[in-house]
Structures are given as structure tokens and as C-alpha cells.
């Protein structure tokens, strides 16, 4: 009798566990389905509105015209000024974040004491939690006046200060991911370099960084993708003047800034001017999509190489 009760209890527990697993499996499937549905919905909205826009404005005109003035009486629909502004601020940000972030990653991995590393790394990542609107006002009220003190021609709104502060914002992304990539390099490579008489500096830059280059490259691409999609810093500090220029000292406008400008303005819904934000959004989506897939491809190639 006791044996029968024990068997019944085991079967009951087994059935309960199976039910719980089914529930968890269903919730996971639902989460994945919701994520896919949201992504498809976003693409559908962008694509459907963009098709309406390109029904009135040719794609050739959109890609080749050198002026962007859809809200003016003399309407021009060339996306190049917005693309130039976006990539100008992104290039400045990467020029700031890459050397600093990579240096931090190398220091934490090769030089820092373990206790210091466990303290500093989370502290550094706090930078990523600061609201971007705070970064934007910091760029406008602190960085720009400071730069104007020794760059006389610097405008009040400019790409330089916005790009510098954006670079500060993405430093944790590059430093954290690069440090993880360097940490994943087999310890035998480091020991072999020391065995050949290499110094710590030579080992870091001659062995560890090249071995982790694919992971570092992925971190840079993801940081670029983050910078391309940044909104508040450039909206506050870079200005709202679309111009086809590589001069970082003048006001510019990025794709995200223009989307904010129209979304919060008095442009009638359903008008051609309003649909420009969907065409600009689709352009931004394609850029970030390509960058994210490039990073995924590089990571996959790296894994295949060492599997």
C-alpha cells in the first residue's frame, strides 16, 4: 500500500512538472511571437507609408537631390543632407569612443587588479543608464561653451559637441564588449607571448587585441548602430538645419532629429510632408538593419573559425 502511494505521488509530481514545462514553453513561444509581430508591424507601417510617399516623389530624386526642404514652399526631397548629418555625428562619436573604450578594455583586462576591475566595470556602465536628454543638455550648456573658448568659429548648435558627447555615451558599449572579447582569448596565447619575452604592452597590442579583433569589431559596429539611431543629443545640441556638409562646426540635422521635428510640429497627418518621416525612418531602419546583420555575420564567421 505504501509502495502504491509512493508511485502515485511520483506520477503526480511528474505530471505537475510536465504541466509547468508546457506553460513555460507556451509563455516563451508567446514572447517570441509578440516580438516578431511587433517587428513585422513596424516594418509594415514604415513600408506602407513609404510606398505612398514614393508614389509622389521618385526614389531617384530622394537619393540624389542635395537639398532637404519638404516643409518649405520650394520643396526639395533629397535625403543626402540628413544622411550626411547622421554620419558626421556618428563618425565624431566613434573617433572619441573607440580609442578611449579600447584603452579601457585593455587596461581592465591586462593591467587592472581583479578587485579594481569588479568595482570599475559596473561603475563605467552607469554611463549607459544616464538619460540621453541629460547628455544633450550637457553638450549644449557645457561642452559647446567650452569648445567655443578656443574654437571661435563654432556655432551655438554644431555637430562637434553633439558627436563628442555621443561618443562619451557609447564608451561603455565598446569598452564592455571589447573587454569581454579580450577575456575570451585563450590564456595559452598570453602565456606563449610572455614565454617569448614579450612585455605586457607588446602582449596586449600584439597578441590579445589581434586575437579578439572580430569581437572588438562587432562592438564598434553595434556602437555605430547605436549612434546612428541616437535622437535627443543631436536634437538638442546639433541643430535643425539640414545641409550637405562635413564641417563639424556648423549646425546640421540628422534623420532622427527631423523625425522628431515633424512629429511634434503642425504638419497635417496624411500629407506628403508628414509622410517624409516614414521615408526617413525607412532609410534609418535600413542602415541599422545592415549594421546589425554585419555584426552578426562577423560574429558567426569568428565562431566558425574557432569551432
Q: Do 260 and 294 belong together in one domain?
A: yes
Q: pLDDT tens for residues 160-171?
A: 999 999 999 999
Residue 280 lies in a domain: yes
Pair 165, 237: CB distance under 8 Å: yes
Same domain, 96 and 237: yes
Report yes or no on 72 lying in a domain.
no
- Given a cut of 90, is residue 213 above it in pLDDT? no
89 and 182 part of one domain? yes
- Domain match, 94 and 225 both: yes
Phi/psi at 155 (5° precision): -75, 165
Residue 307 is assigned to a structural domain of this protein: no
- 256 and 186 in a single domain? The answer is yes
137 and 249 inside one domain: yes
Residue 86 · residue 228 · CB < 8 Å: yes
How many domains is the chain partitioned into structurally? 2
Please tell me the predicted confidence (pLDDT) of residue 122: 80
Which pLDDT belongs to residue 11? 65
197 shares its domain with 105:
yes
> What number of other Cβ atoms are within 10 A of residue 270's Cβ?
10
- Segment 26-39 shows an average pLDDT of 92
Q: Is the dihedral angle over the CA atoms 224, 227, 229, 234 positive or is it negative? A: negative
DSSP per-residue string spanning 238-255 = T-S-------TTS----H
Entry pTM? 0.85
298 pLDDT more than 90: no
In a domain, 201, yes or no: yes
Do 180 and 266 fall within a single domain? yes
Q: Looking at residue 179, which CATH number applies to its domain?
A: 1.10.3720.10
User: What are the C-alpha distances in Å from 116 to residues 106, 110, 201, 232, 301?
Assistant: 14, 12, 19, 33, 34
Going from the C-alpha of 175 to that of each of 133, 165, 217, 285, the distances in angstroms are 22, 16, 12, 25
**Residue 207 or residue 256, greater confidence:** 256
Whether 97 is in a domain gets the answer yes
Contact 29, 203 (CB under 8 A): no
Is residue 60 domain-resident?
no
Decide: 78 and 66 in contact? Cβ < 8 Å: yes
Please tell me whether residues 107 and 33 are part of one structural domain: no
pLDDT tens profile 73-118: 888 899 999 999 999 999 999 999 999 999 999 888 888 887 888 8
Does residue 62 lie in a domain region? Answer: no
Q: Are residues 26 and 93 in the same domain?
A: no
Please say if the pLDDT value at position 128 is more than 90: no
Residue 14 sits in the same domain as residue 159: no
Range of the domain at 237: 80-302
Residue among 88, 228, 214 nearest 160 (CA): 88
Listed residue (137, 88, 83, 92) closest to 256, CA to CA: 83
Instruction: Say if residue 166 is in the same domain as residue 291.
Output: yes
Is 269 contained in some domain? yes
Read off the pLDDT of residues 134-145 as tens digits, 9 standing for 90 and up.
999 999 999 999
Amino acid at each position: 500500500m505504501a509502495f502504491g502511494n509512493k508511485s502515485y505521488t511520483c506520477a503526480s509530481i511528474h505530471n505537475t512538472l510536465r504541466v509547468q514545462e508546457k506553460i513555460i514553453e507556451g509563455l516563451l513561444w508567446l514572447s517570441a511571437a509578440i516580438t516578431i509581430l511587433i517587428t513585422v508591424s513596424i516594418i509594415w507601417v514604415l513600408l506602407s507609408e513609404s510606398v505612398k510617399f514614393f508614389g509622389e516623389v521618385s526614389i531617384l530624386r530622394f537619393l540624389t537631390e542635395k537639398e532637404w526642404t519638404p516643409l518649405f514652399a520650394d520643396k526639395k526631397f533629397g535625403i543626402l543632407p540628413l544622411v550626411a548629418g547622421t554620419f558626421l555625428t556618428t563618425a565624431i562619436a566613434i573617433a572619441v569612443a573607440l580609442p578611449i573604450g579600447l584603452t579601457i578594455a585593455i587596461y581592465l583586462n591586462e593591467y587592472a587588479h581583479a578587485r579594481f576591475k569588479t568595482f570599475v566595470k559596473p561603475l563605467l556602465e552607469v554611463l549607459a543608464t544616464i538619460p540621453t536628454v541629460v547628455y544633450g543638455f550637457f553638450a549644449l550648456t557645457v561642452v559647446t561653451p567650452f569648445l567655443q573658448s578656443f574654437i571661435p568659429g563654432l556655432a551655438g548648435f554644431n555637430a562637434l559637441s553633439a558627436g563628442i558627447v555621443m561618443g562619451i555615451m557609447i564608451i561603455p558599449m565598446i569598452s564592455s564588449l571589447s573587454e569581454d572579447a579580450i577575456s575570451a582569448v585563450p590564456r595559452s596565447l598570453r602565456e606563449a607571448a610572455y614565454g617569448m619575452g614579450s612585455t605586457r604592452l607588446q602582449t596586449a597590442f600584439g597578441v590579445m587585441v589581434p586575437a579578439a579583433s572580430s569581437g572588438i569589431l562587432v562592438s564598434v559596429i553595434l556602437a555605430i548602430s547605436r549612434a546612428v539611431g541616437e535622437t535627443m543629443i543631436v536634437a538638442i545640441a546639433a541643430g535643425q538645419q539640414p545641409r550637405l556638409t562635413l564641417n563639424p562646426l556648423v549646425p546640421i540635422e540628422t534623420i532622427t532629429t527631423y523625425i522628431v521635428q515633424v512629429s511634434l510640429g503642425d504638419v497635417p497627418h496624411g500629407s506628403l510632408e508628414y509622410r517624409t518621416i516614414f521615408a526617413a525612418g525607412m532609410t534609418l531602419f535600413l542602415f541599422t538593419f545592415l549594421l546589425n546583420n554585419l555584426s552578426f555575420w562577423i560574429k558567426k564567421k569568428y565562431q566558425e573559425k574557432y569551432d
